[in-house]
Structures are given as C-alpha cells and as structure tokens.
A and B are shown apart, each in its own frame.
Chain A
Amino acid sequence: MQEILLAVISPVVFAGAVRIAAPLVIGSVGGCFTEKSGTFVLAYECFMLISAFFATWGSYVTGSAVLGALIAVMVSILVGILFGILVFRFQANGMIVSIALIYGAWAVTTLLLVSIFQVRGSFISPDIISFQTISIPFLNQVPVLNDVLNNKIGPVYLAFLLTGAAYVVMYKTPFGLRLRGVGMNATAAQTAGTNIRRYKWTALIIMCACCGLGGAIIPLSGVSMFTENMTSGRGFLCLAAVLVGGGNPIKTSIVAFLFAYTDALYLTLTSFGLPTQLLSCIPYVAVIFVLIVSKLRARRKAALGAGRLKWRKKVTA
C-alpha cells in the first residue's frame, strides 16, 4: 500500500508523464482552436496516425527528425484540408467524416507501410532519426525537477511553450477574440466583419498542424519505429481533454497531462501485481471523474445563470 502511495508522487512517474504528455498536450492544444471556432472534429486519431507514419517516413528519408516532423505536419494539414472541404464546403456531417477518416487512416497507413517499406505491421530502422534530448544546464542543480523536467526531447518543451502561446493567442489577440466569437455566434461574428469561413479554416489548420506535430513525436521520441495503429487511442484522449477543458488551452493541457500521468502511473503500478485490465481503466475513469467534478463546480458557480436547464445541441457539422 505504502509502495503504491509512494509511486503516486514519485518523480519517475512524473518524468514519464512529462514525456507521454507531449503528444497529447500538443494535439489537444490544437484541438482547442477548432473547439472554440465551433467546428466539430473527432478525427484527432486520424491526423495523429497519418502524421506518425509520415514522420517516420520523412525522418527515414531525410535523416532529420525535424524535417520528418515538418513533413508529418504538412501531410496532416493536407488531410485536414480534405476534412475542411467535405465539412465546410460540401456540408458533410463532421462526426461521420471524422469516424470515416479515423478508420480510413488505419487502413491507409497499414497499406502504405506495405507499398513504401515493403513490410507489414511495423517498420523499424536505425535510419529513422529521433529527436535529440536537450539538457538544460541550470536544472542539473535542482534535485527533483532535474529528474522530472531535464533531458527530454525538444517537443516536450515545445508542448509547454505551445500551451502558453495558445492561451495568449486565444485570449489576448484580436484573432483569438474573433475565433471565439465565430464559435459562439457565427451570424453575430459575421456582422462584426469576421470572415467565418476563414477563421474556421484557420482553426482547422492550426489543429491539424498541432495534431501532426503530436503524431510525429510518437515514433520519433526514441523508439525510431512505426507500428500500425501506433497512436492507440491517443487521439480520443486528446478529444476528451479538449471537451473537458472546454477549449481553454491551459485547462485542456492540464487535463491532457492528467491522462499522461495516469498512464505513467500505470506502468509503475503494474509491478505490484494489480490486475492490468483495471489499471488500464484509470485514464478513462479519470476523464469521467474530472467531468463530474468540473460540472459540479460549474453548477455552484452558475448561481446566476439562465434559468432553465441547457442541453447540448444535437451534433451537427
């Protein structure tokens, strides 16, 4: 029991969480933009998986993790443009397009693995160059923080930066204000001179770029390989983080980090002989728990809100 409690606060778990969190945080911070702009996207998993593949490919071909990630971001944006054309231009339903894209992505990457690398299931090669870890000198002196934060790959730090940047963009710039306006009341935003379509597109592309980067981190964080369905549900966790965090980049990142933390905790806790099936449930139960708590808090806060109960609108677009 004591061991378990110690594990909960151990720096090892937090260090693991920081690493695991990077793709989740980056992906979900991107998702904040679409959420705020009122576009309903479920397809995080698609963007991440596709870009994980192309990051592997890019890194393999160019010999540079950064270039690989860039290629991944490009491809992810291309897929996003497909989504945008279908949903914005052709008025297709966002949910159905998302689901189709998610399952399409799995089939496409697996087939690409065959046609590009002539392998099935996984591709592993020393020529896939991963991101380098970065050592921050002044952290060397600080005992716990050094373990938790130092010597991580670049994108881990980028995740923190992106969260802050997204917050500033969302709440401190005209762009963010208008973006939120578009999501809140599109007609009103239009009369305020906002080009709705442009803002929705911009948000979508930001999201795809972030998911692309998030996806690229997964194969390039050291393992230097791609396996089919490599993202294994991370996209859904990103989505959950965005919905729980309500599109606020800081809250969303915290939730994403929480998922990563439970994941890291799992890896330690399985050593104690607890049933893995139950331990694996932790992140998902955590989502529900966080939702309940946040709703309870919101309810207490809304002492003055609109009277009658509000229901989420039917999901369209």
Chain B
Amino acid sequence: GCGKKEEDAAAGGEETSGETYKACFITDGNLGNDFVDLIWKGFQNLEQEGWEIKCIEATDNSEFADDIRSMAGEGYQVIMTWEDNVSQAALNLADEIYKNYPKTHIFLLDTYVDHDKPNCTSVSVDPFESSFVAGFVASKMTQTKTIGWIGHTDVLKIRRFRDGYIAGAAYGDPDVEVVYSFTGDYLDPTKGQEAGSAMIANYPVDIIYQSCYLAGPGVIKACSEGGIKCIGVDDWQGDLDPCVFWSAIKPMDVAVTQVALDYKDGKELPKQMDFNIAAGGAVYDERDLKNIPEELQKEVKQLVDDISTGKVDVYKNFEEYRLEY
C-alpha cells in the first residue's frame, strides 16, 4: 500500500451514501514523483468525497493482470491504470472483467488508445498542448535564441513533450533554435544534472524544459547552477527552485477526480477522453504568470484561447501526434 490507512477512508465515507464507492490505482511507477503524485492527488480528492481508495505499486509486468482481476474481485468499481504496460494488460482483461464484474469500469490513464471495450476509458491529458505553450513562452523569453529540452529516454511518450515544445517555439519565433538531449535514466537525478550541465556548456541555451521524471530535479539543479531558467513539467515545480519560472502542467488530478465523479453520477463514459484545452484543461499554473512580462501574459492567454477555439492548430506539422477524438 501507499502508507495510507484504509480505515481513514472508510470512516469518511460511510455515512454520506448507502453505497461505498471504491477506487483503486494500479501504477507501474511508484509514488514519489510529481506525475504519479499528481494522479494520487486526484484520488485523495475522491477520498475527501468519501470514496475508499487504494494504490497498488506494481513493480513487475507479471503482476498487472493479477492485480486488476483481484481488485475487481474486491469490489472496486473504479480501477485506474497508469503506464501503458498496465493499461495494455487492463485492455487484454477488459472482456473478462466485464463478464464477471459488469459494474467495474477501468480508466486507462495517460494513454491514447483506440479500443472497443465498453468498460474502458482512456483518459489523457495530452502534454503536446502544454509543451506547445511552454515552447511559445520560451521562444519569447530567450535572449540567446537557443532553448533546450531534456527528456529521460527516447520513447514515444516523451517525444510528445519534445515535439510539442518545438512546435510551440517555432510558432512563437521561427528563428529560435531548439536543442535537446536525453538523460538515459529516469530515476537518476545526477544524470539529469550532468545532462543539464553538458547542454549548458555545449550550447548557448538560456532556458531548458525538462521532461525526465525523477531525473528532472537534477536538470533543474543544473539550470540553477548554470544561472539559466528552467521549465518544469507535470505539476507546478516552481517550489523546487526559483529558476523554474514556468511549468508545463498536466492536470491529471483534475481529470482523475472528474472521471470518477462522472462514473458515480452514472454519466455515459466515452471510450476516450482528452482533457485538452478545449475541454477546459489547464496547461500552465496561474502562479507562474507573474514570472513573465505582462505583454507575454496576454499573448499566452490569447494563444490558449486560440488553441481552444481551434484557431491555432498545435499539431500542424506533427500530424502523427494528433488525437482523433
């Protein structure tokens, strides 16, 4: 478990309604990094609402199927899976679950899957848009016309961040050059630090956007040491270091709470949901606005509006990332 006592949840939940709603989170990445914590924050919101919650940190792919089956068997109506491998396992099991536990609904968090399972919903907060806005901000803020991006490994999901950032920067200022690199390890902050230092030494970057999980704080540290600015990811990271002037947030907590409550309210759940700007998702944190010039603040707001109305198409040159729903 996650060190959370079930009793608390039970105590809070009992009197509000006849049926106790139970939500369970099966994650491949452990709690303790901003993104997973963000999701868990969404669960904690549910706990406030009287739900019973449970987090299972599965460490090995062989455990996913067992966990999903058993939690459905334990009467959890909402099962949320994170990391594509867990979600994949959930999809494979969906029919069996539907047969045995028709009330249970599975939410595949942070995936972009096309599927036909009635009891599954893929819930995403596409980082492409927030990265796009971050790239736009960076292109406006850079003095050296060179901005950087560092990710952990060269995998598809991480490239969404990179390419959204590149697209945003190109939209903001076509002359700005974007350089990127990878740390090669998502758990090791010292690698992040080295990658940041190397980038600062190799290129005249003055802003680096990091998307590298637990190695991220290392990048932030390197930026702070190198005297340049940094853009955080997932959650608001301005609390980590003053050099983080902007965060490309991915409000998964809101999405989590939202979909769970939708389920409770008996709403029709679509096969895919994306909490993009158009759906009212946030892409930056209000606290960061003070860090950029007023003029730029306006531009950013305008941009977000434009994206929301479809005036600006963030996927223009990056068709492969476009979500078809």
Contact = CB atoms under 8 A, between A and B. Distances in A.
Judge A-B direct contact (beta carbons within 8 Å): yes
B84 interface: no
Interface string B174-217: 00000111111101111111110111011100000000001001
A199 B225 CA distance: 44
Interface string A188-227: 0000000000000000000000000000001101111101
Nearest to A110: B30
Contact of A271 (B3, B29, B179): B179
Interface string A1-31: 0000001001011011001100000000000
Contacts of B179: 271
The number of chain A residues touching the other chain, given as a range, is 35 or more
A176 B29 CA distance: 46
Contacts of B185: 232
A227 B194 contact: no
* Max count, chain B CB within 10 A of own CB: residue among A119, A120, A221, A229: A120
Interface in B56-91: 57
B20 interface: no
Interface string B20-63: 00000000011111001000000000000000000001000000
Given A121-B214, A223-B189, A230-B189, A267 B30 contact: no
A280 B184 contact: yes
Given A120-B2, A121-B31, A232-B185, A221 B180 contact: no
Given A12-B202, A121-B30, A271-B199, A230 B194 contact: no
B3 A118 contact: yes
B153 interface: yes
Contacts of B182: 267, 270, 276
A222 B221 contact: yes
B193 A221 contact: yes
Contact of A279 (B184, B187, B197): B184
B221 to A, nearest CB: 5
A113 interface: yes
Interface in A97-124: 110, 113-114, 118-124
Contacts, number: 115
A277 interface: yes
Contacts of B154: 270, 275-277
B240 interface: yes
Nearest to A230: B188
B184 to A, nearest CB: 5
A228 interface: yes
Contacts of A222: 190, 193, 221-222, 225
A259 interface: no
B212 to A, nearest CB: 12
B32 A268 contact: no
Contacts of A83: none
Given A122-B33, A232-B188, A276-B184, A268 B3 contact: no
The number of chain B residues touching the other chain, given as a range, is 35 or more
Nearest to A11: B201
Interface string A117-149: 011111110000000000000000000000000
A167 interface: no
Contact of B181 (A120, A223, A228, A268): A268
A264 interface: yes
A57 interface: no
Contacts of B3: 114, 118, 120
A268 B181 CA distance: 7
A15 B31 contact: no
B187 A227 contact: yes
Contacts of A230: 187-190
B52 to A, nearest CB: 20
A12 B214 contact: no
A19 B194 contact: yes
A271 B203 CA distance: 10
Interface string A234-271: 00000000000000000000000000000110111011
A57 B202 CA distance: 34
Interface in B135-184: 153-154, 179-184
Contacts of A119: 32
B251 interface: no
Contacts of B127: none
B232 to A, nearest CB: 13
Contacts of A270: 154, 180-182, 184, 195
A13 B153 CA distance: 19
B284 to A, nearest CB: 22
Contacts of B181: 267-268, 270-271
Contacts of B281: none
A16 B198 CA distance: 7
A81 B87 CA distance: 44
B218 interface: yes
5 contacts: A7-B202, A121-B32, A121-B33, A270-B184, A277-B153
Given A16-B194, A222-B193, A229-B187, 10 more contacts: A16-B197, A113-B32, A120-B31, A120-B57, A121-B31, A122-B32, A232-B188, A263-B194, A270-B195, A276-B182
Interface of B: 2-3, 29-33, 36, 57, 153-154, 179-185, 187-195, 197-199, 201-203, 214, 217-218, 221-222, 225, 240
* 5 shortest interchain CB distances as A-B pairs: A121-B32, A120-B31, A120-B32, A276-B154, A12-B201
